[in-house]
Homo-oligomer: A and B are copies of this chain.
Amino acid sequence: MIVPARKPNLSYILLKTGLVYDVRMRYHAKIYTSYFEYIDPHPEDPRRIYRIYKILAENGLIIDPSLCGSDDIGDYMLKIPIREAKKEEILAVHSEEHLKFIESTQNMNKDELLKATEKGDSVYFNNDSLLSAKLSCGGAIEACKAVVEGKVKNAMAVVRPPGHHAEPDAPGGFCLFSNVAVAATSILDSYPESVRKIVIIDWDIHHGNGTQKVFYNDPRVLYISLHRYEQGKYYPGTKAGGADQVGEDLGEGLNVNIPWPVGGVGDADYIYAFRKVVMPICYEFQPDLVIISSGFDAADGDVIGGCHVSPAGYGQMTHMLKSLARGNLCVVLEGGYNLDSIAKSALRVAKVLIGEPPEELKQINPKIESIEVIDDVIKIQSRYWKSLGPGYTGLDYNLPSIMGNFDKLTSQSPDPTFIEVASKHERLNDAVRDHQRTALFEKYNFSTLPLFIEKLPNTQSYNASTILCSPDIYENDKIVIIVHDPSRIWARRDPITGDLDPANAVTVDKSLDFIEWALKQKWGVIDINIPITITGKDDATYNNINTSQDILLYLWDNFLHFFKAQKIAFIGVGEAYNGIIHLCGHRDVRKLVKASINFVDKATALRAVISTIDESIVDWFFRNSLVFTSSKHSCWGDKDTGNTKRPRKKYGRVLRADVEGLDGVIDERFDEVCTFIQESLEDYESESDSES
């Protein structure tokens, strides 16, 4: 019963990978004005495209012994004929003035060229700039076209000058025409049936302001850029690359910026971003064509980019993007200035395009800053992409997207949606503290210490719950004062709705352990909770650090002075610890205060004692204080970069825990702290008495 094969002799042809390259794109070059420019040439160097072409030949991906761009380049890649971009193609993206200006450089004399170079934003011109730029742009179009028409399985356009900084009406950042934007527009216009949606992935280390602008309100193009940002200080130096720039009108939600807050990112960060954001979004968008704006200036070795993406990393990203749009993928060169780095990176990309598996990566763990920024991007983009919501189940209910907008009201530009949500509901930290008060009342007979400071919020919950104290507080000669941020909470989130399940959640507050321990020593206890935010309208002006300062001064001036206490120990937990440091600088607490123990998480800056009274306070503070930081606190520098440091003495005796998170740090050091306080508050005479 053997069924014969239906077409056993059909021969299977694997399509080749297309390649665009032409030596004439080397003609655009900076006119030397000094010997210095000769020995240290402009980074956007004509050799960039040659070096990429050469490494492809050296590795046998193409056959071209003369390296001058022959037409027959062997079995794996197919040469795609280049041409100059047509006027109407360019004008579909750029203004007439822009085109006319670039055209005018063709006939300028040297002085005019230098003047135009000087006037522009990081661009240069010679009389061949127009030709090179038109070829670069036309090359990008032809590469995309060959992919869309099925002549090649995918393509790589090794072109220059780059394009992604060129805005519709201005060149910039080494870019004359917005090559990828022109190509994408041309394809969308020429193949309206087969190409309705294009994704542009811009992994050049700089934000592609030009490309973003062209498609900012265009629903046909999803633009995703990963770039070094540094709050807009990194080139191009505007806020256009911020994560909050999501597109407008019909294009809203189709502009995705992943702005690295620091340099030094590498494979792990990019793979993390791809896994968490880029690939889910692209799957959901279902593009017909993927274009990579492929700068290689995030590559290891590029001093302008200052990052560490390896050739393997570029290979992995290319491999992932190949899974989209039936493999219709076109790689167009943008920046990248280390000639070795760009050649090696482009080689790996080309190998993956041809069909080789990507090399494996060594680095797995992204930077903390990257995890944080990806979390922000998800928060912002989950409004538009179901696959970034908790369960991406296609639910219409927008709870997860409201959820996504939660942000600290203490930050400079609070999210209006969060303010709206928060104004309607109760802040959880208030609920938890209110309950702590009840519990401490019931368990240890604690009471509220009256709090009357005019500028503090005047709500019942705030007044009643902020300062609590043990019943013997007026009499006890030893007092432990705990000043802390609100409890942390551990909980499981419903994967579908994003709700937390309060039945499967617990409050975690190590401060309570200190209270119990101090009560066991028969000492008085004052427990001060400094909320980060508060329920109600006062929240807009509320600041937790100022509050902790005000409250500790108030406590000192109105109570501690008049209590019978002879010895006091402070324990500060989290941002609230600022109040203790501030107090030590503004009152002479040395007679009463015998110890100050503080726990500081990575997000809380260390604070120096700056005395308004007596310089020797700094020394006293150093001898009587411990400040425990989480392992990755920035005061220790960055182990990864080898740039380690030690905090100075004015911060007190700073010790580094092995773990992250306030609760973890306290857990690790609890016994040590108890011993330190015990020794500090110990009463030598009475002790020897009892021993005798």
B357–A327 contact, CB under 8 A?
A: yes
> Among residues 54 to 84 in chain A, which have CB atoms less than 8 Å away from a CB atom of chain B?
54, 57-61, 63-65, 67, 74, 76
Cα distance A125–B60 in the bound complex, in angstroms:
52
Partner among B67, B329, B506 whose Cβ is within 8 Å of the Cβ of A5: B67
Give bound CA distance, A391 to B319, whole Å: 24
A440 close to chain B: CB less than 8 A? no
B395 touches A659 (CB 8 A): yes
Residues from chain B with Cβ under 8 Å of A507 in the complex: 425-426, 428, 431, 502
Number of copies: 2
Q: Cβ of B59 and Cβ of A12 under 8 Å apart? A: yes
Q: Inside 8 A of A487's CB, which chain B residues have their CB?
A: 502
Q: Are A427 and B365 CB-contacts (below 8 A) given A357-B323, A358-B323, A500-B489?
A: no
Quote the shortest CB–CB distance from A384 to chain B (angstroms). Answer: 14
Q: Please state if B4 and A67 are interface contacts (CB–CB under 8 Å).
A: yes
Contacts of A491 on B, CB cut-off 8 Å? 406, 428, 489, 491, 500
Pick the interface stretch among A27-35, A107-115, A276-284, A559-567. Answer: A276-284
**Does A368 contact B496, Cβ atoms closer than 8 Å?**
yes
Q: Does A504 contact B (CB under 8 A)?
A: yes
Contact code string A627-667 (vs B, CB < 8 Å = 1, else 0): 00001100000000000000000000000001111011000
Contact at A357–B153, with CB atoms within 8 Å?
yes
- The 8 A CB mask of A177-193 against B (1 = contact, 0 = none) is 00000000000000000
Binds B, one of A300-308, A370-378, A546-554, A578-586: A370-378
A396 on the B face (CB < 8 A): yes
Which of B325, B364, B503, B508 meets A531, CB within 8 Å?
B503
Tell me whether A500 and B503 are in contact in the complex, defined as CB-CB below 8 angstroms, given that A11-B60, A368-B391, A442-B460 are known contacts: no
A356/B379 in contact, CB under 8 A = no
Interface contact B9-A63, CB-CB below 8 Å: yes
CA separation between A565 and B326, bound complex, in Å? 69
A105 in contact (CB, < 8 A): no
- In contact, B490 and A421 (Cβ under 8 angstroms): yes
Check B153–A490 contact: CB distance below 8 A. no
Q: How far does the alpha carbon of A402 sit from the alpha carbon of B506 in the complex, in Å?
A: 12
Q: Could you say which residues of chain B place their CB within 8 Å of the CB of A602? A: 496
What residues of B have a CB within 8 angstroms of the CB of A310 in the complex?
none
CB distance from A26 to the nearest CB of B (A): 10
User: Chain B's nearest CB lies how many Å from the CB of A232?
Assistant: 22
Report A397-420 CB contacts with B as 1/0, cut-off 8 Å.
101001100111000000000100
Query: Are B664 and A399 interface neighbours, CB within 8 A?
Result: yes
Cβ B11 vs Cβ A354 within 8 A:
no
Measured between beta carbons, the chain B residues less than 8 angstroms from A329 are: 357
Say yes or no for A144: interface residue by CB 8 A criterion: no
Would you call B76 and A12 a contact (CB within 8 A)? yes
Smallest CB gap from A506: residue in B? B425
Does chain B have a CB within 8 A of A263? no
- Residue A324, interface by CB 8 Å: yes
Give the interface size class of chain A. Answer: 35 or more
Residues of B within 8 A of A397 (CB): 659-661, 664
Which residues of chain B come closer than 8 Å to A366, judged between CB atoms? 392-393
A365-B386, A460-B442, A661-B497 given; A354·B357 CB < 8 A: no
Q: Verify if A240 is at the interface (C-beta below 8 Å from B).
A: no
Structural contact, B422 and A431, CB atoms closer than 8 A? no
CA of A113 to CA of B359, assembled, Å: 49
Smallest Cβ distance from A521 to chain B, in angstroms? 22
State whether A327 and B428 are in contact (beta carbons under 8 Å apart), knowing that A5-B58, A283-B271 are contacts in the complex.
Answer: no
Chain B residue at minimum C-beta to C-beta distance from A406: B492
B60 touching A10, Cβ below 8 Å = yes
With A275-B279, A364-B284, A499-B490 as given contacts, are A357 and B505 in contact (CB-CB < 8 Å)? no
In the complex the two chains form, is A283's CB within 8 Å of B427's CB? no
Establish whether residues B490 and A503, one from each chain, have CB atoms under 8 Å apart when the complex forms. Answer: no
A646 nearest CB across to chain B (Å): 22
Pairwise interchain contact A316-B323, C-beta atoms closer than 8 A: yes
Which one of B361, B379, B489 contacts A428 once the chains associate, using CB atoms below 8 Å? B489
**Which of B7, B64, B375 meets A495, CB within 8 Å?**
B375
Contact of A399 among B403, B490, B496 (CB under 8 A): B490
Task: Please give 18 more A-B residue pairs, beta carbons under 8 A apart, in addition to A426-B439, A496-B660.
Answer: A14-B355, A275-B279, A316-B323, A324-B360, A355-B355, A355-B356, A364-B387, A371-B496, A374-B495, A375-B495, A406-B490, A406-B492, A406-B505, A408-B503, A427-B506, A432-B432, A432-B502, A487-B502
Q: Which 9 A-B pairs have the closest CB atoms?
A: A355-B355, A327-B357, A12-B60, A503-B532, A425-B506, A428-B505, A397-B659, A431-B435, A375-B495
